[in-house]
Chains A and B, each alone.
Chain A
Amino acid sequence: MLKTPSPSIFRPEGGIAKSVREQNKGLIEEIDRRKILRGAMSLGALTMLTGCDVTNKSPVQSVLKAVSSFNDRVQQAMFRPNHLAPTYSEAQVVKPPRFNAYYDIEEVVPVDGATWKLELAGLIQDKRPWTARQIYELPEEEWIVRHICVEGWDYIGQWSGVNLRQFLQRVGADLTAKYVSFKCADDYYGSIDMASALHPQTILATKYAKQLIGDPFGFPLRLRTATKLGFKNPKWITAIEVTNTYPGGYWEDRGFNWHSGI
């Protein structure tokens, strides 16, 4: 059964043409059947391994997931839209910033700023892509705030760039939508709630300590929000989508709490 896809930059804009679907009906059904069979076999194989892997689908797991979603709503209610995170002095800034990604720093693939483009999608009126030069011309603001990682470490960083609220207003985004979603050059992806996106200390950062952000830290463009854990700040952003469809995220789809506000 094919579901009607929700609008997304990750799919063809007009959806899959009906004629194409009709032509390949048999093949699609065949693939779907094989997927079910494959699923059945791997589940059978899993039960022969340790119990740990099977619990991913257990009732316990779904209770924990449900509580995590409930905690998203609690955090949404606790969020204070105009409450500023403490700021610090330039002397306290750690240089360079601490590296974090889902791989090691040696594996970072630098983004070419000359050919890089920021694409826009979803509930945005002006979807023209942006070059790095155009982004640099936007009004810039700076925040010296604490970065806190879900693992428990933290450091003070000095970030500057365009305020996300101002950027979203400039491109005519629907600010009543639920989510702002990000796609990255390293296949990382993530999303934040609109209230956090509109917080005064949420920026699309281009600079760290007054210099262009280094390659390992998200050059040319990354999100920096003072009200969320580190992993909620995607680096090497290539696309922004405003949407009402829950977009998930790299770590969130692996079981970490989605809201992860601090």
Chain B
Amino acid sequence: MAEITSNSTDRHPRRLHPLPLRIMHWINALAMIIMIGSGWKIYNDEVLFGWLHFPQWITIGGGPEGALQWHFFAMWLLMINGLAYIGYGFATGRFRRKLLPIWPSEIISNVRDALRFRLSHDDITHYNAVQKTLYVGIIAVIVVQVVSGFAVWKPIQLSELMVLFYDFQGARLAHFIGMALIVGFLIVHVALALLVPKTIGAMVTGGPRVDEPESPEPTPPAGSAAQEAR
């Protein structure tokens, strides 16, 4: 009995990316791709910028009615999954441990290193200040994107939201800019992941076991045991 307890997985440190987090990451990736591709098709029907039409082959949904169906399907996926992710991030303390604190001086030195191609990306268990800023930033952008999406969807029922975006076209523009920022993040995120391929593996299998417990208040015995194991 005692042997089983000491060998049980409870005593092992958690994975870098616990299973719920990985599931939420990939659901979000899928939902976001559907939202962007169908959103481009919807945009094409009444463009904000005359010079910008998205080619049909990179859009999702076929016609405008199909694109709207996909958009208003994936919105549930994105919202429910996003709420679960935010709840998880706060409840487990993951946000606090992984994304905070962010020091401006660290960002500056990171950027300086990056410009000299000396910014290390190799320790995937620790985010540098630029990564932290990007991750906190993209979470905030997606939250604002959901809010502007509600404003475009329900400009009358949620007319109070309209104050934030000036008017209906303002909300459309905000929703477009949010999309552009998310696409920009996606390009950088995927490019850097491809540069350090083990990050992709870690988001699939969970990555190395780390000594940080995935709970808000680490209990002293568990912490010391994990340190010993190291």
Contact = CB atoms under 8 A, between A and B. Distances in A.
Most chain-B Cβ atoms within 10 A of its Cβ — which of A65, A83, A226?
A83
A152 B46 contact: yes
B62 A52 contact: yes
B85 interface: no
Contact of A64 (B70, B156, B159, B162): B70
A131 interface: no
Interface string B119-137: 0000000000000000000
Main secondary structure of the interface of A (DSSP, over half): loop
A148 B168 contact: yes
A255 B76 contact: no
A83 B69 CA distance: 27
Given A152-B42, A257-B68, A80 B157 contact: yes
A150 B68 contact: yes
A177 interface: no
Contacts of B46: 149, 151-153
A63 B73 contact: yes
Contacts of B43: 152
B66 interface: yes
B168 A78 contact: no
Contacts of A85: 156, 159
B172 A262 contact: no
B contact residues, range: 20 to 34
A29 interface: no
B72 A261 contact: no
Given A78-B154, A153-B46, A251-B65, A68 B72 contact: yes
Contact of A256 (B68, B76, B159): B68
B217 interface: no
A11 B148 CA distance: 45
A71 B65 contact: no
Contacts of A158: none
Contacts of B155: 146, 148, 262
B18 interface: no
A142 to B, nearest CB: 18
A252 to B, nearest CB: 9
A261 B45 contact: no
A254 interface: yes
A194 B42 CA distance: 28
Interface residues of A, number: 31
Interface string B143-155: 0000000000111
B89 interface: no
A67 interface: yes
B156 A226 contact: yes
Contacts of A141: none
B65 A255 contact: yes
Nearest to A256: B65
A150 B45 CA distance: 9
B159 A255 contact: no
Contacts of B70: 64
A71 B71 CA distance: 12
Given A146-B168, A149-B46, A152-B42, A83 B68 contact: no
A166 B171 CA distance: 34
Nearest to B43: A152
A14 interface: no
Interface string A63-83: 111011001000000111001
B146 to A, nearest CB: 15
Nearest to A152: B46
B99 to A, nearest CB: 32
Given A83-B157, A227-B156, A255 B69 contact: yes
Interface string B52-76: 0000000000111110111011001
Given A64-B70, A68-B73, 14 more contacts: A64-B69, A67-B72, A68-B69, A78-B154, A83-B156, A146-B168, A148-B168, A150-B64, A151-B64, A152-B42, A255-B65, A261-B157, A262-B156, A262-B157
Interface of A: 52, 55, 63-65, 67-68, 71, 78-80, 83, 85-86, 146, 148-154, 226-227, 251, 254-257, 261-262
22 contacts: A63-B73, A64-B69, A64-B73, A65-B69, A67-B72, A68-B72, A79-B157, A80-B157, A83-B157, A86-B162, A146-B155, A150-B45, A150-B64, A152-B43, A152-B45, A251-B65, A254-B65, A255-B66, A255-B68, A257-B68, A261-B156, A262-B157
